[in-house]
Structure formats: C-alpha cells, structure tokens
Amino acid sequence: MNLPLLEIRDLHLWMRSFEGEAHVLNGIDLQVQRGEIWGVVGETGCGKSLTGLSVSRLVPTPPGRYGSGQILLDGQDLLALDESAVRSLRGRRIGMIFQDPTTNLNPSFRVSEQLIDVALVAAQHSPEILGLEKGASQRAKRAAARALAGQMLVKVRIPNALDRLDDYPHQFSGGMRQRVLIAMALIGRPDLLVADEPTTALDVSVQAQILILLKEMVQEFNMGVLLITHNLGVVAQTCSHVAVMYAGAIVERGLVAEVLARPRHPYTRALLAAMPTRATPRGGLEGIPGTVPDLIAPPPGCRFAPRCGRASATCLERSPRLVPLATGHEVACVHPLPQEGV
C-alpha cells in the first residue's frame, strides 16, 4: 500500500466558547486513498464539518486549538505548515465545496471572473494546469484561465456553458450554481476534495444529478474525497467508504456495503434503524434515546455509553480505539454488535 493521499492521525481540537473549552475532536483517525469517496456521517454537532475544515486549516485559532495529532497530505503535516504554505495548497491540492449554493458565490462578480481567479492563483504553484509556456504573459495566462473555466463549466454539464461563462450567479438556478461551485473547486486540479453537505440545500431531484456528477469527476481526476453529510442515503448512493462519527470521534469505519449491511457499533445500528425506509411500518420509527453529550465536560470513557443499551463498566473507563474486525471494517467499541445482518 502506498502512502495514503490524506491521513489524519489522532487529531484533537478544542473550541473555546463563552461557557468553556469544548473538546470537539477527540482523536480522529482517517485514511483516504486516491479514488476513494469517504462518507463522513453523524448527527449535527458530531464534529464532521470541523474535521473537513481542519483539513484545509480553515478553523480559526483562536477560538480553536489543536492538540497532538497530524493531518498528512501525501505525507506532509498540514498542521505544521505556516499560513502561506497552507494557502498555496488550497484550491490547488485541496478543493472544497460547501452546503448552500446561493450564498457561496460572490453575487457581484461574473462566474468567469471567480473561476479565472481561482485558476490563476492555483497556477502560481502549478503552472501546468494552464498548459502554457514558461514566462507567458499575464494576458496569455488570463486567456488560458478563461478557456479552462469554459471547459470546466462544460465538464460539470451546464447547458450552453460557453455562453453562460460571463453570467452572474443569480442568473443560475440552485442546482446550476452548485455545479459552478464544483467547477470552481476542481479547476485547480486538486487531489483531495472536501464536500460539506453538498446536496443538502438542493431539491431532491437535483441531488441525484449532483452526486452522479461528483462521482464522475472523482473518477476523471482520480481524487480522494471526504463527503460530509448527515444523510445515509447519500452515503449509500455515492460513497465507497464510510466513517461514522459521534461526539468528536469515529466510531465505525469501512467499506460502505460492509458497514451499512453489517453495522457493528451500537450507534451505527441505531442510526440506520432511525432512517425511514419504504419498509418501515407506521409508527415504527426508532429514535435514539438521550442527547448528545456536553463536550465541555464530556463523560469519561466512551462518549456514547450514556445512551448505549450495551454499556458496561469498562465502557466508562477508557475511550475505545478503532479495532479492525474484517478487512477494512473497524469499530471503536468494547462490546461490538455480533456479526449478523441488519
């Protein structure tokens, strides 16, 4: 196995707030290879967005504070770099897409302008994306960037892409805008893509299209992807692997088919059970009793223990680490569910 594209090792993050310091990331371990689409699922507040933001070092510090732990991109620790070094990676090696397409495009600038600027900045350290000779003029670079922008819009399947290159964001529909944002995230040819709830704000009919598009792009550019979502359906459709997060830690991870068919962590099972399907009988929805723990004063040991029907005394002693079960399937639980189907 060669070096993973992205490796997060034992990442700890505290966030200072009015009431105190919350331990929001409690030892995140994750590895993403090129070509893998990792779904990161969990309820609101479990830390999945913060994990995504951490990869690009977009969490402001203060009020954030990283503890021990590393974020390795092709072996290079991002947490150890200075700001300008990290900035040169953004857009060029790491692309990001956020949730709401209406507010993530600058309304006062044409789409071409925004795409071109991202491309030009990326080209400063990776001039090959423009495909020009060394020492090309600024004008030539701009023209090449514009051509590239047009190509990207075509790639993300915007109808009449070249005609619409100079349109303003408000002239696009929601789904189209998200495509533009995907184009913007990929124009620098990043190796890693972090997508934070990319379809949550879209119509259901559009969601599927965007997910298919994402899959195509991943294959074409051979990227690794962190797809952050709370929607297990999205994970089932699009991802190759899944990591389930609870209260700042990954409790289960592995191949999508494996984890969703044979969940071993009580939380994962409860999550799957809480999802309504066509087969769910009326009044048959199961919620998960209890509430998310207070991260300023988290419970000792396993953070899910207070809500877990299988908790024992050992669960309250130490926070369980991820333990491999079958190939690629790991669970952080002292009493994992027995091997059986759901």
Contact call for residue 87 and other proteins (CB under 8 A): yes
320 binds other proteins, rule: CB under 8 A: no
- Reduced to 3 states (helix: H, G, I; strand: E, B; else coil), residue 31 is strand
Name the segment binding other proteins (CB under 8 A); options: 16-24, 92-100, 263-271, 292-300: 92-100
Stretch that binds other proteins, among 128-136, 182-190, 218-226, 285-293 (CB under 8 A): 182-190
- Applying CB under 8 A, among 39, 47, 91, 263 the residue interacting with other proteins is 91
Q: Smaller CB distance to other proteins: residue 85 or 261?
A: 85
| 158 versus 331: smaller Cβ distance to other proteins | 158
Should residue 217 be labelled a site residue for other proteins when binding is judged by CB under 8 A? no
Phi, psi angle pair for 196, to nearest 5°: -100, 105
Which listed residue (2, 44, 108, 277) binds other proteins by CB under 8 A? 108
Report whether 150 contacts 161 (CB < 8 A). yes
The overall longest dimension of the chain from CA atoms, in Å, is: 69
Helices (H), ranges, the chain? 48-55, 83-89, 111-125, 138-155, 174-186, 204-221, 232-238, 256-261, 266-274, 313-317
Nearer to other proteins, 122 or 271 (CB): 122
Could you say whether residue 76 binds other proteins (CB under 8 A)?
A: no
C-alpha distance from residue 22 to each of 16, 87, 288 (Å): 6, 27, 23
Q: In angstroms, rounded to a whole number, what is the distance separating the alpha carbons of residues 63 and 44?
A: 20
Name the residues that contact other proteins, by CB under 8 A: 56, 58, 87-92, 95-96, 98, 100, 103-109, 114, 117-118, 121-122, 168, 170, 181, 184-185, 188
